[in-house]
């Protein structure tokens, strides 16, 4: 270990070495007191458990300390700038957390009688209204659990619409720059994928698209702005061509932060689009979820939207949970119950807080911040596609050629500088991609600080400091982890029989 003062305990000041809960076991101990059970005869018969589960016992104070210490090993938006492209790591407002926990919202059972949850249904309806207005689309399904499931729902509606016409067709066009969930979702919908290339402008190659568009094509899945951070100029032409060919237009709405309040995808000719409430609409990322991926629909696809739906009848909100109660042709159900209600509450609170004027300012500032990064870095980093960019900017690693320093090294060195790195090696269409999305909730000071750090690291790369870059990070809770060993000999759980590993 470099520049590390040895300590007796192995802890280092406020940074503690924290074991696994299984290594903290005090048999018989519990962090929860419970009332004594009533005296009854068991009705579990021979199905009662006859062996222990094997869980460790720990007191409440020690449990709290465990998770407190674990949390301190995490980078977070609250802690610093998080410029991950296409993730939209904006500030997660705390009022949203408070309101999601209100009695009467956070504690409702999904199958309470409808008349006892009119406020909840009204909230969902309101969420749906806002999202349809912002996107300019007439229909919506709120239920998908996250963006990827939203993609699948959009495709399922498309396939159902085509089946209703008599031919589901065979494949889906997907740009080579697309996020991996796109082809994976196409596959889950029973479609093969035909890849179409980007052109030298970082956008879909229109001619290649036209050549690929035949009668076997059910849909195009297009991210707009693209995963290169650029607005697809040909989008209306693309929509027209698809519709003429009897195909549908799926838009991946992950990058809606660039457009919210300023452009309505419905005006661009799309048929369906998923939204990520955990991106554009500020609901927290939580270390990997939960998300929420509502999907908007055009007139042609609305009838096929999945269950459940919300309708208003005689002034009362109603949940449509069964096909027989629907006047339409829902293709089925994709999730238990009604969708990620807790995220609807947060998103509604966010949309109410910002309002139509605030949301318009969001896309302005998001796009401005990204272009500011572009203008301050394009002399030291190679910009593969001419700007302006939208809410995110893409660089490649050409400027690092012959330095011995890779995109990965720069990312790891940024960790030592106190920043979470940008998205790396995505999209695949450029070499050593660095995709940066600052979002609108970062100040100019923060951007300047990041720019300074990045410029400095690139300078160090050219000044022969590749060794330092290869050894980064040095100052984080762990240094580079051996991901090869993790994959070759997967250890996916604690096992009482496993040898204690090196600390």
Of 197-226, which residues contact other proteins (CB under 8 A)? none
* Region binding other proteins by CB under 8 A among candidate stretches 100-108, 211-219, 243-251, 396-404: 100-108
- Among residues 247, 270, 149, 254, which one has the least CA distance to residue 194? 247
Shortest reach from residue 330's CB to other proteins, in Å: 10
CA 173 to chain centre: 22
Q: Does 413 bind other proteins (CB under 8 A)?
A: no
Q: Does 179 bind other proteins (CB under 8 A)?
A: yes
* Region binding other proteins by CB under 8 A among candidate stretches 204-212, 394-402, 459-467, 494-502: 494-502
Nearer to other proteins, 300 or 320 (CB): 320
Q: Does 312 bind other proteins (CB under 8 A)?
A: no
Number of residues that bind other proteins (CB under 8 A): 213
Under 8 Å between Cβ of 169 and 216:
yes
User: How many angstroms separate the CA atoms of 394 and 361, rounded?
Assistant: 23
- Write out the two tokens for 66: 């465990």
Give, as ranges, the residues between 349 and 408 that touch other proteins (CB under 8 A).
Answer: 349, 351-362, 364-365, 367-369, 371-372, 374-376, 388, 390
CA 177 to chain centre: 17
Nearer to other proteins, 302 or 334 (CB): 334
| Contact residue for other proteins among 85, 183, 294, 427 (CB under 8 A) | 183
Q: Does 60 bind other proteins (CB under 8 A)?
A: yes
Going by their DSSP bridges, the two strands 434-436 and 393-395 should be labelled as antiparallel
Give, as ranges, the residues between 245 and 274 that touch other proteins (CB under 8 A).
Answer: 261-264, 267-268
Nearer to other proteins, 237 or 462 (CB): 237
Nearer to other proteins, 49 or 166 (CB): 49
With left for phi above 0 and alpha for psi between -120 and 50, is residue 10 left, alpha or beta? left
* Region binding other proteins by CB under 8 A among candidate stretches 215-223, 245-253, 452-460, 488-496: 488-496
Under 8 Å between Cβ of 97 and 285:
no
| Contact residue for other proteins among 1, 6, 8, 14 (CB under 8 A) | 1
Q: Does 72 bind other proteins (CB under 8 A)?
A: yes
Shortest reach from residue 401's CB to other proteins, in Å: 12
| Contact residue for other proteins among 16, 58, 161, 273 (CB under 8 A) | 58
Nearer to other proteins, 13 or 104 (CB): 104
Nearer to other proteins, 230 or 469 (CB): 230
User: How many angstroms separate the CA atoms of 72 and 214, rounded?
Assistant: 54
With left for phi above 0 and alpha for psi between -120 and 50, is residue 437 left, alpha or beta? beta
Shortest reach from residue 167's CB to other proteins, in Å: 16
Nearer to other proteins, 183 or 303 (CB): 183
Q: Does 497 bind other proteins (CB under 8 A)?
A: no
- Cβ neighbours, 10 Å, residue 18: 18
Q: Is 370 helix (H, G, I), strand (E, B) or coil?
A: helix
Residue 485's contacts (CB-CB under 8 Å, 6 or more residues apart) are: none
Q: Does 107 bind other proteins (CB under 8 A)?
A: yes
User: How many angstroms separate the CA atoms of 65 and 169, rounded?
Assistant: 57
Three-point CA angle 237, 209, 220, nearest 5°: 80
| Contact residue for other proteins among 12, 78, 207, 240 (CB under 8 A) | 78
Q: Does 233 bind other proteins (CB under 8 A)?
A: yes
- Cβ neighbours, 10 Å, residue 139: 21
Q: Does 490 bind other proteins (CB under 8 A)?
A: yes
Tokens 């005006």 -> residue: 267
- Distance between the two ends of the chain, CA-based, in angstroms? 13
User: How many angstroms separate the CA atoms of 307 and 104, rounded?
Assistant: 24
- Write out the two tokens for 500: 């204690």
Q: Does 499 bind other proteins (CB under 8 A)?
A: no
């Amino acid at each position: 270990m470099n520049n590390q003062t040895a300590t007796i305990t192995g802890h280092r000041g406020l940074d503690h070495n924290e074991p696994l809960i299984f290594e903290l076991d005090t048999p018989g101990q519990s962090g929860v007191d419970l009332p004594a059970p009533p005296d009854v005869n068991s009705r579990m018969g021979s199905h009662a458990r006859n062996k222990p589960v094997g869980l460790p016992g720990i007191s409440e104070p020690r449990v709290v300390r465990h998770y407190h210490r674990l949390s301190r090993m995490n980078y977070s938006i609250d802690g610093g700038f998080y410029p991950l492209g296409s993730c939209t790591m904006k500030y997660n407002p705390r009022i949203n957390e408070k309101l999601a926990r209100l009695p009467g919202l956070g504690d409702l059972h999904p199958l309470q009688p409808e008349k006892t949850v009119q406020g909840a249904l009204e909230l969902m309806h309101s969420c749906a209204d806002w999202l349809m207005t912002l996107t300019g689309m007439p229909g919506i399904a709120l239920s998908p659990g996250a963006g990827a499931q939203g993609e699948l729902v959009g495709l399922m509606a498309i396939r159902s619409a085509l089946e209703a016409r008599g031919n589901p067709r065979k494949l889906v066009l997907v740009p080579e720059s697309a996020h991996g969930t796109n082809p994976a979702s196409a596959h889950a919908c029973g479609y093969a994928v035909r890849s179409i290339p980007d052109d030298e402008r970082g956008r879909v190659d229109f001619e290649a698209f036209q050549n690929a568009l035949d009668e076997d094509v059910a849909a195009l899945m297009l991210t707009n702005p693209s995963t290169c951070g650029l607005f697809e100029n040909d989008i209306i032409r693309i929509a027209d061509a698809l519709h003429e060919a009897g195909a549908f237009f799926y838009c991946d709405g992950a990058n809606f932060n660039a457009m919210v309040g300023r452009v309505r995808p419905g005006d661009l000719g799309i048929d369906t689009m998923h939204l990520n409430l955990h991106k554009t609409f500020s609901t927290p990322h939580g270390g990997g979820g939960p998300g929420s991926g509502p999907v908007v629909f055009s007139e042609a696809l609305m009838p096929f939207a999945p269950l459940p739906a919300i309708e208003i009848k005689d002034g009362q909100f109603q949940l449509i949970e069964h096909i027989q109660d629907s006047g339409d042709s829902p293709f089925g159900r994709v999730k238990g119950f009604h969708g990620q209600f807790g995220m609807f509450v947060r998103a509604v609170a966010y949309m109410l807080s910002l309002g139509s004027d605030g949301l318009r300012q969001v896309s302005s500032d998001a796009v401005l911040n990204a272009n500011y990064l572009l203008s301050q870095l394009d002399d030291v980093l190679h910009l593969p596609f001419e700007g302006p960019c939208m809410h995110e900017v893409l660089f490649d690693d050409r400027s690092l050629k012959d330095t011995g320093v890779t995109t990965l090294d720069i990312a790891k060195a940024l960790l030592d500088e106190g920043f979470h790195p940008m998205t790396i090696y995505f999209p695949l269409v450029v070499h050593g991609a660095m995709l940066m999305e600052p979002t609108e909730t970062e100040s100019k000071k923060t951007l300047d600080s990041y720019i300074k750090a990045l410029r400095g690291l690139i300078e160090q790369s050219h000044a022969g400091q590749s060794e330092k870059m290869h050894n980064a990070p040095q100052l984080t809770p762990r240094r580079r982890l051996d991901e090869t060993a993790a994959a070759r000999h997967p250890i996916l759980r604690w096992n009482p029989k496993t040898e204690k590993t090196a600390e």
